[in-house]
């Protein structure tokens, strides 16, 4: 922000309604080159402007700057050694809710963990532990499958799922997984075709959990039957844990389908850009 004075910025923004396209393009490029630090200034200008044309220009600029910031964050997240799941989901969340703070999401998730932890008992057998987690998440906190608006983009936005208590298979599994990890349980995501589930896996015991169906527990044979029903050849990765990166990639793919169904062509293209960053 020290590159230009406030007066120079005001002069620059006033040129956004210039009729000369060359001037306009130069102004836009200059503002974008200043990066996300200029966003609060642009938002203030939007509030003080009574020109709908300038307001529209500012909205597009702010979105462009926020989207660039999101892409940079996603690139950094992909390079990070642990690829923290909550951070990855927060980055995607900022596509629809750019002002969302990570700390807010983290605090909301911690509250769910705390509610489960207070009911939890480490001495119980795995199936009994899962019963407790299911009881808190699906009965007490009342999280459930959003079958009514299955393809809504909100189902891929963690803040939205935490607020409405409704989500798709992957967002409900992500909440479950984040809680289970904090409890120190060997639970991971599994990338099944058309359905995202969880696996409880140690060297002695393996079973699967369907968070989209209130934490229903099922076996490897059930997965085989499911694949046969879909006429899909079983593959090793359909039975094994996937990475946090896989979860983020699948979330982005879900978002592409959501925006395609809404006919939001520009958003489809932008999410494809994010997918290209994550999936390369």
φ, ψ (nearest 5 deg) of residue 195: -155, 135
Q: Which DSSP letter does residue 139 get?
A: I
φ, ψ (nearest 5 deg) of residue 91: -60, -45
Given pLDDT bands bounded at 50, 70 and 90, which one contains residue 16?
Answer: confident
Q: Over the stretch 102-156, which tens digit does the pLDDT of each residue have?
A: 999 999 999 999 999 999 999 999 999 999 999 999 999 999 999 999 999 999 9
Of 145, 140, 196, nearest in space to 173 by CA: 196
**The model's pTM:** 0.90
269, exposed or middle or buried, with CB in 10 Å at 0-12, 13-18, 19+?
Answer: exposed
199 beta partners:
188, 208
Contact 3, 31 (CB under 8 A): no
Residue 53 CB neighbours (<10 A): 10
Q: Which residue has the higher pLDDT, 88 or 6?
A: 88
Please give the radius of gyration of the chain, using alpha carbons only, rounded to the nearest integer: 22
Q: Over the stretch 23-61, which tens digit does the pLDDT of each residue have?
A: 888 888 888 888 888 888 888 888 888 888 888 888 989
pLDDT at 66 over 50: yes
The two beta strands, 144-145 and 166-167, are parallel
Which structure tokens are listed for 59?
């909205």
Residue 225 CB neighbours (<10 A): 12
Instruction: Note the pLDDT of residue 1.
Output: 44
**Alpha-carbon span 80 to 260, nearest angstrom:** 31
Of 132, 100, 95, 101, nearest in space to 115 by CA: 132
């Amino acid at each position: 922000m020290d590159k230009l004075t406030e007066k120079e910025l005001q002069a620059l923004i006033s040129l956004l309604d210039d009729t000369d396209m060359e001037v306009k393009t130069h102004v836009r490029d200059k503002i974008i080159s200043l990066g996300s630090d200029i966003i609060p200034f642009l938002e203030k200008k939007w509030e003080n402007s009574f020109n709908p044309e300038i307001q529209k220009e500012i909205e597009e600029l702010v979105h462009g700057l926020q989207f660039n910031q999101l892409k940079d964050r996603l690139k950094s997240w992909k390079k990070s050694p642990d690829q923290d799941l909550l951070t990855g989901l927060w980055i995607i969340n900022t596509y629809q809710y750019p002002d969302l703070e990570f700390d807010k999401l983290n605090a909301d998730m911690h509250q769910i963990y705390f509610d489960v932890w207070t009911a939890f008992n480490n001495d119980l057998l795995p199936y009994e532990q899962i019963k407790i987690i299911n009881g808190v998440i699906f009965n007490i906190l009342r999280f459930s499958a959003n079958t009514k608006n299955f393809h809504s983009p909100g189902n891929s936005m963690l803040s939205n799922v935490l607020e409405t208590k409704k989500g798709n298979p992957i967002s409900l599994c992500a909440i479950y997984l984040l809680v289970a990890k904090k409890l120190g349980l060997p639970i991971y995501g599994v990338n099944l075709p058309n359905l995202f589930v969880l696996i409880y896996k140690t060297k002695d015991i393996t079973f699967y959990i369907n968070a989209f169906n209130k934490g229903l527990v099922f076996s490897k044979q059930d997965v085989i039957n499911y694949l046969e029903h879909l006429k899909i050849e079983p593959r090793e990765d359909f039975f094994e844990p996937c990475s946090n990166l896989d979860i983020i990639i699948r979330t982005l793919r879900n978002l592409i389908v959501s925006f395609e169904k809404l006919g939001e062509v520009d958003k489809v293209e932008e999410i494809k850009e994010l997918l290209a960053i994550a999936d390369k």
